[in-house]
């Protein structure tokens, strides 16, 4: 039995490297509304963000936050007959909102690609993996031969770490393990060297060791192809390790936006505090408290007035008057810098965070600073 070598992964480059030519994806004031039997539902409202090549944006949110809806709007995957999309989405300089379906198809799977959570459901069960990869290649390389496509498919499967790719290319999705399937889906997404990759909960259904492998793979591929990457997830640990910037969404709006370090070490919005407090940490002290966010995610049919988070916010009493209930806060810079934005009426979020929130969730850190 050979002993298996183990390698230690190294830290990535510093987050100060900036991509060239400005952001590859630029979203401005995006609004997505769906008509329903009970009335129109605004799933995304006033969303603005950008991603540069070679950088990773993490989008954090729960059900009803609009995180998946907004990314699908970027890809143009909504049913144009029902969804109403306004605002601006520029992919590599091309305006995507209102773009004809034919031109949109040229971009999808080509310069921008999306991979999904449950690879078993997301891959067609009746076609071989190789066939599905070849299809993704041929639709954007119409002059290529079937042989070229097959060669490319095997190459990609090898690139994502699937052993014996020349044999496994003829397998069906149900014959792969969960981790392998997710790799195959990544291979399919990247087969045309997209400049933008959107990964919607790519590792949520996977075991923790498999998750780590997939995240490694995504990072390696990003470095190799220099793509802009968006990771949508609810796992703040994944965000901490993978994302350069973070966008926190709640009830269809951005409520906080900044670098990962800013958002996770010095957050200034009670929802973000709530998330950090309600997720137990493997390394935290056992005196740390698990404090849930009270109540339930908001209904998008009848969203709360003013700040959408106020019914669940335990700090709204610190804001004078009825402001949280009556007025939607604007997205304004936080105290750590203009790149860090937050949507909250609190006058002194840093104070509240250090005196009230931090001692509960990380008492050992408070001890250190004394």
Partner 1 sequence: MTQDPNARAEIEPTEVGANAAETGDRQLTAEHSPETPDAYGSHEIGIEDLDFATLAEQGHTATKLDPLAPAVLSVDNLKMYFPVKSSGVVRRTIGHVQAVDGISFEVPKGGSLGLVGESGCGKSTTGRLITRLYKPTGGSMMFDGHDLAKLSAREMKPLRRDVQMIFQDPYTSLNPRHTVGTIVGAPLEVHKIVPKNQVLKRVQELLEIVGLNPEHYNRYPNEFSGGQRQRIGIARALTLNPKVLVADEPVSALDVSIQAQVVNLLQDIQSEFDVSFLFIAHDLAIVRHFCPEVAVMYLGKIVEIGDRETIYGKPHHPYTQALLSAVPDVKQAAVGGRRERIRLEGDVPSPINPPSGCRFRTRCQFAQEICAKVEPPLLQIGQRHKVACHFAGELGSHPASPVTTDLLGVDDQGSPVAGATPTNTQLTIPGYEDTWYDLKTKQTTGV
Partner 2 sequence: MFAYVVKRLISGVLVVTLVSMAIFLLFWYGPSSPAQPICDRETSNRCTQAKLAVYEKTLGYDNPVYEEYGKYVKGIFVGRTLTIASNDYECSAPCMGVSFRTKQPVKEELVSRIPATFSIAIGGAFLYLLFGVPIGVAAARRRGSVADKALVSSFLFISSVPYYLFALLTWLYLTITFEVPFFSDTGYFPITQDGPFKWFSGLFLAWVALGIFGCTQYTRFTRGAMVEALSEDYIRTAKAKGLPTRTIVYKHGLRAALVPVVTIFGIDFGTLLAGTIFTERIFEIQGIGWWSLEAVQGRDLPVVQATALFSAVVLIISNLLVDVVYSVLDPRVRLS
Binding string, 258-297, against partner 1, x = CB under 8 A? --xx-xxx--------xxxxxxxxxx--xxxxxxxxxxxx
Token duo for residue 350? 């840093």
Per-residue burial over 208-239, b if 16 or more Cβ lie within 10 Å, else e, is: eebbebbbebbbebbeebbbbbbbbbbbbebb
Q: Which of 27, 41, 191, 199 binds partner 1 (CB under 8 A)?
A: 41
User: To the nearest whole angstrom, how small is the minimum distance from the Cβ of residue 112 to partner 2?
Assistant: 9
**Per CB under 8 A, does 177 bind partner 1?**
yes
109 lies in the binding site for partner 2 (CB under 8 A): yes
Which of 174, 209, 321, 368 touches partner 2 (CB under 8 A)?
Answer: 174
Q: Is 143 in the site for partner 2 (CB under 8 A)?
A: no
Per CB under 8 A, the list member of 27, 85, 123, 324 interacting with partner 2 is 123
Give least dist CB 15 to partner 1, A: 6
Q: Beta-carbon neighbour count of residue 5 at 10 Å?
A: 5
Q: Which does 289 bind (CB under 5 to 8 A by kind): partner 2, partner 1, none?
A: partner 1
- Counting contacts by CB under 8 A, is residue 114 touching partner 2? yes
* Neighbour count for residue 111 (Cβ, 10 Å): 18
How many whole angstroms separate alpha carbon 203 and alpha carbon 304? 32
| Full DSSP string of 231-276 | EEES-HHHHHHH-SEEEEEETTEEEEEEEHHHHHHS--SHHHHHHH
Backbone φ and ψ for 26, nearest 5 degrees, come out as -130, 115
Q: Does 140 bind partner 2 (CB under 8 A)?
A: yes
Neighbours of 160 (CB within 10 A): 22
Q: Which stretch binds partner 2 (CB under 8 A): 8-16, 114-122, 230-238, 294-302?
A: 114-122
56 near partner 1, rule: CB under 8 A: no
Q: Which of residues 85-144 bind partner 1 (CB under 8 A)?
A: none
Cβ contacts of 121 within 8 Å, gap of 6 or more: none
The Cα–Cα gap between 255 and 265 comes to: 16
User: How near is the Cβ of 148 to partner 1 at its closest, in Å?
Assistant: 31
- List CB contacts of 126: < 8 A, sequence separation 6 or more: 172
Residue 330 touching partner 1 (CB under 8 A): no
- Identity of the residue, 207 or 330, whose beta carbon is nearer to partner 1 in the bound complex: 207
Binding partner at 106 among partner 1, partner 2, none, C-beta below 5 to 8 Å by kind: partner 2
The interface with partner 1 within residues 187-216 (CB under 8 A) comprises 207-213, 215-216
> What is the spatial distance between Cα 51 and Cα 265, in angstroms, rounded to a whole number?
21
Tell me which of partner 2, partner 1, none is bound by residue 12, counting a contact when its beta carbon lies within the kind-specific cut-off of 5 to 8 angstroms. Answer: partner 1
Q: Does 126 interact with partner 2 (rule: CB under 8 A)?
A: yes
- Nearer to partner 1 by Cβ, of 61 and 329: the residue is 61
User: What's the CA gap between 1 and 364, in Å, rounded?
Assistant: 44
Backbone angles phi, psi at 48, to 5 degrees: -135, 125
Q: What's the rounded Cα separation, in Å, for the pair 149 and 191?
A: 10
Query: Binder to partner 1 among 77, 122, 350, 366 (CB under 8 A)?
Result: 77
Cα-to-chain-centroid distance, residue 216: 16
Candidate ranges 59-67, 167-175, 187-195, 332-340; the one touching partner 1 (CB under 8 A):
59-67
* Distance, CA of 48 to CA of 151 (rounded, Å): 40
Residues of this chain that interact with partner 2 (CB under 8 A) are 75, 77, 105-110, 113-114, 116, 118, 121-126, 135-136, 139-140, 172, 174, 185, 188
């Amino acid at each position: 039995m050979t002993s298996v070598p183990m390698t230690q992964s190294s830290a990535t480059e510093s987050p100060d490297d900036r991509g060239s030519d400005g952001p590859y994806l630029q979203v401005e004031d995006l609004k997505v509304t769906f008509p329903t039997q009970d009335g129109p539902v605004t799933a995304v409202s006033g969303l603005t963000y950008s991603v540069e090549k070679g950088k990773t944006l993490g989008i954090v949110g729960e059900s009803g936050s609009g995180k998946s809806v907004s990314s699908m709007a970027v890809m143009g995957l909504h049913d144009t007959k029902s969804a109403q999309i306004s605002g601006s989405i520029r992919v590599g300089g091309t305006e995507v909102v209102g773009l004809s379906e034919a031109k949109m198809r040229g971009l999808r799977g080509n310069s921008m690609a999306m991979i999904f959570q449950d690879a078993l459901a997301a891959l067609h069960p009746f076609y071989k993996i190789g066939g599905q990869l070849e299809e993704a290649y041929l639709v954007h390389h119409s002059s290529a031969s079937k042989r070229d496509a097959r060669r490319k498919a095997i190459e990609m499967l090898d690139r994502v770490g699937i052993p014996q790719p020349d044999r496994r290319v003829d397998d069906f999705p149900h014959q792969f393990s969960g981790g392998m399937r997710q790799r195959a889906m990544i291979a399919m997404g990247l087969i045309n060297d997209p400049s933008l990759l959107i990964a919607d909960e790519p590792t949520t259904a996977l075991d923790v060791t498999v998750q780590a492998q997939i995240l490694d793979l995504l990072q390696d591929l990003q470095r190799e192809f220099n793509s802009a990457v968006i990771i949508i997830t609810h796992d703040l640990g994944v965000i901490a390790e993978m994302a350069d910037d973070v966008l926190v969404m709640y009830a269809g709006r951005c409520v906080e936006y900044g670098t990962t370090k800013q958002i996770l070490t010095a957050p200034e919005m009670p929802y973000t505090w709530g998330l950090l407090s309600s997720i137990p940490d493997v390394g935290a002290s056992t005196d740390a408290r698990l404090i849930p966010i009270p109540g339930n995610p908001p209904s998008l049919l009848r969203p709360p007035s003013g700040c959408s988070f106020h019914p669940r916010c335990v700090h709204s009493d610190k804001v004078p008057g009825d402001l949280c209930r009556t007025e939607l806060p604007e997205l304004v810079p936080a105290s750590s810098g203009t790149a860090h934005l937050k949507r909250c009426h609190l006058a002194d979020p840093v104070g509240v965070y250090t005196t009230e929130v931090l001692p509960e969730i990380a008492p050992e850190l408070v001890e250190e600073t004394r």
